Amino acid sequence: MTDLRSGALAALAEQTIELPSWAFGNSGTRFKVFGQPGVARDPFEKLEDAAQVHRYTGVAPRVSLHIPWDLVDDFGKLAAHARDLGVQIGAINSNLFQDDEYKLGSLTHADPAVRRRAVEHHAQCIEVMRQTGSTDLKIWLPDGTNYPGQDDLRARQDRLADSLQQVYAMLDPSMRILLEYKFFEPYFYAMDIPDWGTSLVHCLALGEQATVVLDTGHHAPGTNIEFIVVQLLRLGRLGAFDFNSRNYADDDLIVGSADPFQLFRIMNEIVAADALLGAGVNFMLDQCHNIEPKIPGQIRSVLNVQEATAKALLVDREALAAAQQDGNVLGAHGVLMDAYSTDVRPLLAELRGSQGLDPDPYAAYARSGHQERIARERVGGQQAGWGA
């Protein structure tokens, strides 16, 4: 156990989790967006909020941007601001779901002019990547149809393949595409990238610089997500996670809040495949804090991922392999459950102590008075939120 603990501490010290800029804006349900005091008013303030999460957790050094929500006049200045705060720009997310022209599709639209506009938007995103030092272009495709016969499903796949190839051809050698999937919403008959298999097929056709991003909320109930993780790792095509939690569908709740055991099972496969560090898998959050405060919500999310990772690192792999080889079903399951049942909070407190951090980041932030300060100071202007 001593060796497992020391190995876990070493790995946890190097683990990083990327934050989404949009988590620091106002969001809500389909019926209302709820405003909160002190919410960031521009991308610079979003970075300042993200830096608070990194300051107290020590493992969140990157921030994903969303274009056009995070457009600024000078991205070099924004990247420098991030560095001054002790963080850096992470993935650049494109937006294909808000313009009226995209009602019937973007990269899959029957009109070549609309497809061209969607491709040009990704050229804009790639230029943002060059200016900020980002290497990941994350594409979530909202395209799909609501009714049988509405469009030709095969033709849409052909158009998508052609559009993606145009985007792929623009990448610098250091860049890659992270191609997301979602089995329903905003369309309900057929999404154009509904599952990991469809995403993978397009990535394989594009080349080595195209990988799949797995959003933990984008699956049908009962889907064995860790099985998908294993398959994508086997093929070297798991580029990133979008971590969040779900009760019913794409709820975008705090990761690990509804099913912490599922999060542990996912991280167990990551650790078993030696893919936690140096394997090109970017662990990112994709959440909306609708009724809870933004910075504390992100801190809690980071802590949940850390705890699931720590438990996965404490699995006795030798004992597990021996039980599996012997066909000891309950013994093998018991090895996993022993690790899952471990209270890893003291281990993580020890890690934070060695890094000069408070053992309890959530409580430390609450005591700092930062939340109250930004509520007092961020008065006037327009708060960031959906569509801004």
User: Tell me: the pLDDT tens digits for 193-232?
Assistant: 999 999 999 999 999 999 999 999 999 999 999 999 999 9
Task: Say if CB 90 and CB 62 are below 8 A apart.
Answer: yes
Is 329 a domain residue?
no
Instruction: Look at the alpha carbons of 361, 362, 363, 368 in this order and tell me if their dihedral is positive or negative.
Output: positive
Output the pLDDT for position 1: 62
Output the pLDDT for position 388: 53
Cα 371 to chain centroid distance, Å, stands at 24
Output the pLDDT for position 320: 98
CB burial class (10 A; 0-12, 13-18, 19+) of residue 131? middle
Q: At what angle do helices 361-368 and 294-313 cross, to 10 degrees?
A: 160
The mean per-residue pLDDT over the stretch 234-260 comes to: 96
Segment 44-71, tens digit of pLDDT: 999 999 999 999 999 999 999 999 999 9
Is 348 a domain residue?
no
Q: What share of the chain is helix, strand, coil (3-state, %, to 5)?
A: 50, 15, 40
Q: For the chain, what is the domain count?
A: 1
Residue type, 191: M
Output the pLDDT for position 387: 60
Task: Say if CB 79 and CB 108 are below 8 A apart.
Answer: no
Is 375 a domain residue?
no
Output the pLDDT for position 28: 84
Output the pLDDT for position 29: 80
Segment 299-335, tens digit of pLDDT: 999 999 999 999 999 999 999 999 999 999 999 999 9
- Per DSSP (E only), the strands in the chain are 19-20, 27-28, 33-34, 62-66, 88-93, 136-139, 144-145, 176-180, 190-191, 210-215, 238-243, 282-285
Gap between the Cα atoms of 103 and 97, Å rounded: 8
Looking at the DSSP bridge assignments, the partners of residue 191 are 144
Q: What contacts 147, CB < 8 A, 6 or more positions away?
A: 189
Is 352 a domain residue?
no
Task: Say if CB 81 and CB 47 are below 8 A apart.
Answer: yes
386 band by pLDDT with thresholds 50, 70 and 90: confident
Q: What contacts 366, CB < 8 A, 6 or more positions away?
A: 296
Output the pLDDT for position 74: 98
Q: At what angle do helices 345-354 and 294-313 cross, to 10 degrees?
A: 110
Tokens representing residue 251 in the block: 């709820």
The mean per-residue pLDDT over the stretch 139-168 comes to: 98
Could you tell me the residue range of the domain that residue 46 belongs to? 14-315
The reply to whether the predicted model has a pTM over 0.95 is: yes
Task: Say if CB 192 and CB 141 are below 8 A apart.
Answer: yes
The mean per-residue pLDDT over the stretch 253-274 comes to: 98
Is 87 a domain residue?
yes
Is 354 a domain residue?
no
Gap between the Cα atoms of 309 and 303, Å rounded: 10
Gap between the Cα atoms of 169 and 178, Å rounded: 14
Question: Mean pLDDT score of the chain, rounded to an integer?
Answer: 97
Segment 185-194, tens digit of pLDDT: 999 999 999 9
Task: Say if CB 289 and CB 298 are below 8 A apart.
Answer: yes
Tokens representing residue 44 in the block: 């610079």
Gap between the Cα atoms of 160 and 165, Å rounded: 8
Enter the DSSP assignment of 212.
E
Task: Give me the CATH number covering residue 248.
Answer: 3.20.20.150
Gap between the Cα atoms of 180 and 151, Å rounded: 22
Is 340 a domain residue?
no
Half-sphere exposure of 263 (CA within 13 A, CB side): 26
Is 167 a domain residue?
yes
CA angle 195, 65, 80 (to 5 degrees): 150
| Total residue count of the chain as it appears in this document | 388
